[in-house]
């Protein structure tokens, strides 16, 4: 095992933290193996992966060994997401606080998309998720991961937290997985130790206060704020809870947990706000802090924007597009330049409102574009659960063929079928190909292709 050299004063800074056991904590970082956990996609049922269940997440699984996810076609199909187990606790929180009626949820600091897909798994078609990423270069991976998850009730934005203040009282639940000093990831990413300092903890605390101040106005009355970090530092966790309760009309929410899980329940020193600490020597996961607060301040002057102009669309073209979609009456179809997109009908007004106030990078599912009497289907449609599989050809691939397809290599075409085909592996869609009499045109996106060669097979 690698010997970890903790930053100067780091261990001392945690001495008074609730539930901290110095010797056990150090031993776990130095002598225990890293865990591998995944979360299966409830919208794309597969029995491919088995393992011990993560106790606080129904779809979470611990794997006995870490496979090469790059060379697993089901990973590219969005059948599961590789996610650290402690982070899945957000799903447990959502299960406890989410009402039966439709809700609008914001994941404010969303890239790369683990918690966004986690939230999306807990949603119905009536719910709307806005997944925002502040850093522009991190937005594409967020959009790709939500596309793999396959639902149409998501919108991806690229905005600063202060931009959301325009949406006064719009969201029922907001997750702020705040930028932090990252000490909870030391075991998984030892390089993070080089970035840690007491000055950086203080800087992160100030940044967290700014983000929360900016986003607070957009939370609805009686709405829930979920605050989390991957830090052990009091300043970024319990101190933030005290500040929130002092600065705003928020009340703490206690989440019932099983004592066998090893999660440490804490209270902030001044306001006695409940928090939940994850230590890798106590739980099967990495470091995490999570908490929930409920807004008790009345929210007046709710934002509104009414777009009474219906987009003029070609009816013939629209019918061609709808043929590729399962239950098309459930969706609102619209165009962005030449591309056709669709989102659940119930989110049309929210989409119009968000387009008016925010910079949107992805909305619903991109269906494709028309070329004459043909639709060039988009990759997002292939990975979505809305694709009408009965209306398109499907070509089931072997493992070797699937890897070749994902590498954009040539695959022999022995079928007499012609036209667009959904390329599948174990029944899960990977993307599109155009079948021609003597060849197959591979339409897997170049930017997503596997760039390396698969490892040699074991004899």
Q: Cβ(86)–Cβ(288) under 8 Å?
A: yes
Over the stretch 6-18, which tens digit does the pLDDT of each residue have? Answer: 998 999 999 999 9
- pLDDT of 399 reads 95
More confident residue, 457 or 199: 199
Asked if residue 194 has pLDDT above 80, the reply is yes
109 in a known ligand binding site: yes
177 in a known ligand binding site: yes
Lowest mean pLDDT among 80-84, 103-107, 190-194: 190-194
Mean pLDDT computed over every residue of the chain = 93
- pLDDT of 315 reads 83
- pLDDT of 4 reads 58
CA distance to 26, 143, 407, per residue, from 112 (Å)? 29, 8, 22
Over the stretch 224-277, which tens digit does the pLDDT of each residue have? Answer: 999 999 999 999 999 999 999 999 999 999 999 999 999 999 999 999 999 999
286 in a known ligand binding site: no
Asked if residue 294 has pLDDT above 80, the reply is yes
Mean pLDDT of 27-55: 88
- Read out DSSP for 298-330? ---S-------PPPP--HHHHHHHHTTBSSGGG
Asked if residue 445 has pLDDT above 70, the reply is yes
Mean pLDDT of 167-184: 96
101 in a known ligand binding site: no
| Phi-psi region at 222: left, alpha or beta (left = phi > 0; alpha = psi -120 to 50) | left
Asked if residue 312 has pLDDT above 80, the reply is no
Task: In whole angstroms, give the CA distance from residue 408 to residue 405.
Answer: 5
Six-digit token pair at 409?
């290599």
- pLDDT of 33 reads 87
| Confidence band, pLDDT 50/70/90 cuts, at residue 299 | confident
* Domain assignments of the chain as residue spans, ordered by start: 10-295
111 in a known ligand binding site: yes
Asked if residue 115 has pLDDT above 70, the reply is yes
Asked if residue 308 has pLDDT above 60, the reply is no
190 in a known ligand binding site: no
The active-site residue, picked from 57, 180, 230, 245, is 230
What percent of the chain shows pLDDT beyond 70?
95
429 in a known ligand binding site: no
CA distance to 117, 141, 329, per residue, from 145 (Å)? 8, 6, 26
- Domain 10-295: what homologous superfamily? Vaccinia Virus protein VP39 (3.40.50.150)
| Confidence band, pLDDT 50/70/90 cuts, at residue 309 | low
Task: In whole angstroms, give the CA distance from residue 285 to residue 36.
Answer: 9
Six-digit token pair at 112?
């790369």
160 in a known ligand binding site: yes
Long-range contacts of the stretch 360-364 (C-beta < 8 A, 24+): 360/155, 360/156, 360/157, 361/139, 361/143, 361/156, 361/157, 361/158, 362/143, 362/146, 362/147, 362/154, 362/155, 362/156, 363/155, 363/156, 363/336, 364/152, 364/153, 364/154, 364/155, 364/331
Coil vs helix vs strand at 419: strand
Task: In whole angstroms, give the CA distance from residue 453 to residue 74.
Answer: 17
More confident residue, 18 or 312: 18
Residue 230 annotated among the catalytic residues of the structure: yes
Which is nearest to 305 in space by CA: 248, 372, 352? 352
User: E strand or H helix at 275, and its extent?
Assistant: strand 274-278
Asked if residue 2 has pLDDT above 50, the reply is no
| Confidence band, pLDDT 50/70/90 cuts, at residue 303 | low
Neighbouring CB atoms inside 10 A of 16's CB total: 8
| Confidence band, pLDDT 50/70/90 cuts, at residue 305 | low
Mean pLDDT of 410-434: 90
Which is nearest to 178 in space by CA: 213, 211, 201? 211
Neighbouring CB atoms inside 10 A of 109's CB total: 20
Asked if residue 1 has pLDDT above 50, the reply is no
Asked if residue 444 has pLDDT above 60, the reply is yes
**Residue 423 β-bridge partners:** 395, 431
| Confidence band, pLDDT 50/70/90 cuts, at residue 47 | low
| Confidence band, pLDDT 50/70/90 cuts, at residue 438 | confident
CA distance to 239, 252, 268, 308, per residue, from 272 (Å)? 11, 8, 5, 48
| Confidence band, pLDDT 50/70/90 cuts, at residue 306 | low
Q: Name the one residue in this structure whose structure tokens are 């596997």.
A: 450
Asked if residue 69 has pLDDT above 90, the reply is yes
Task: In whole angstroms, give the CA distance from residue 340 to residue 93.
Answer: 36
What percent of the chain shows pLDDT beyond 90?
82
Task: In whole angstroms, give the CA distance from residue 315 to residue 303.
Answer: 33
pTM over 0.75: yes
Mean pLDDT of 94-104: 94
Please give the span between the terminal C-alpha atoms of the chain, in angstroms, as a whole number.
Answer: 29
Asked if residue 97 has pLDDT above 70, the reply is yes
């Amino acid at each position: 095992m690698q010997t970890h050299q903790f930053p100067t004063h780091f261990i001392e800074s945690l001495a008074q933290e609730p539930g901290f056991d110095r010797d056990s904590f150090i031993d776990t970082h130095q002598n225990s193996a890293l865990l591998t956990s995944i979360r299966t996609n409830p919208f794309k049922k597969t029995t491919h992966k088995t393992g011990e269940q993560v106790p606080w997440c129904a779809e979470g699984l611990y794997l006995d060994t870490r496979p090469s996810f790059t060379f697993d076609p089901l990973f590219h199909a969005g059948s599961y997401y590789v996610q650290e187990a402690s982070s899945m606790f957000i799903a447990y929180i959502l299960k406890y606080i989410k009402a039966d009626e439709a809700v609008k949820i914001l994941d404010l600091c969303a890239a790369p998309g683990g918690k966004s897909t986690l939230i999306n798994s807990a949603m119905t078609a009536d719910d709307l998720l806005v997944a925002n990423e502040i850093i522009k270069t991190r937005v594409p991976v967020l959009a790709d991961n939500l596309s793999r998850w396959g639902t149409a009730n998501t919108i991806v934005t690229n905005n600063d937290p202060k931009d959301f203040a325009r949406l006064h009282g719009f969201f029922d639940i907001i997750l702020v997985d705040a930028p932090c000093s990252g000490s909870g990831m030391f075991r998984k990413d030892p390089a993070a130790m080089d970035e840690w300092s007491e000055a950086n903890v203080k800087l992160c605390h100030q940044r967290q206060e700014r983000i929360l101040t900016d986003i607070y106005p957009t939370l609805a009355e009686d709405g829930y704020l979920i605050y989390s970090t991957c830090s052990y530092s009091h300043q970024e966790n319990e101190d933030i809870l005290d500040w929130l309760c002092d600065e705003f009309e928020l009340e703490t929410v206690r989440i019932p947990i099983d004592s066998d899980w090893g999660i440490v329940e804490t209270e902030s020193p001044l306001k006695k706000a409940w928090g939940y600490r994850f230590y890798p020597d106590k739980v099967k996961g990495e470091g995490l802090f999570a908490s929930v607060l409920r807004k008790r301040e009345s929210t007046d002057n709710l934002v509104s924007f009414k777009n009474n102009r219906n987009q003029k669309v070609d009816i013939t073209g629209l019918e061609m597009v709808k043929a590729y979609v399962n239950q098309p009456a459930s969706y609102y179809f619209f165009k962005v330049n030449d591309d056709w997109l669709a989102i659940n009908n119930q989110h049309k007004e929210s989409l119009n409102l968000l387009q008016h106030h925010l910079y949107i990078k992805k909305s619903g599912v991109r269906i494709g574009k028309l070329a004459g009497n043909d639709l060039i289907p988009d990759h997002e449609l292939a990975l979505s659960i809305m694709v009408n599989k009965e209306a398109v050809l499907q070509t089931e691939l072997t493992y070797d063929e699937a890897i070749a397809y994902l590498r954009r290599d040539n695959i022999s075409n022995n079928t007499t079928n012609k036209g667009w085909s959904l390329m599948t592996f174990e029944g899960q869609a990977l993307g599109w190909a155009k079948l021609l009499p003597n060849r197959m045109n591979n339409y897997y996106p170049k930017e997503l292709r596997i760039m390396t060669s698969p490892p040699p097979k074991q004899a």
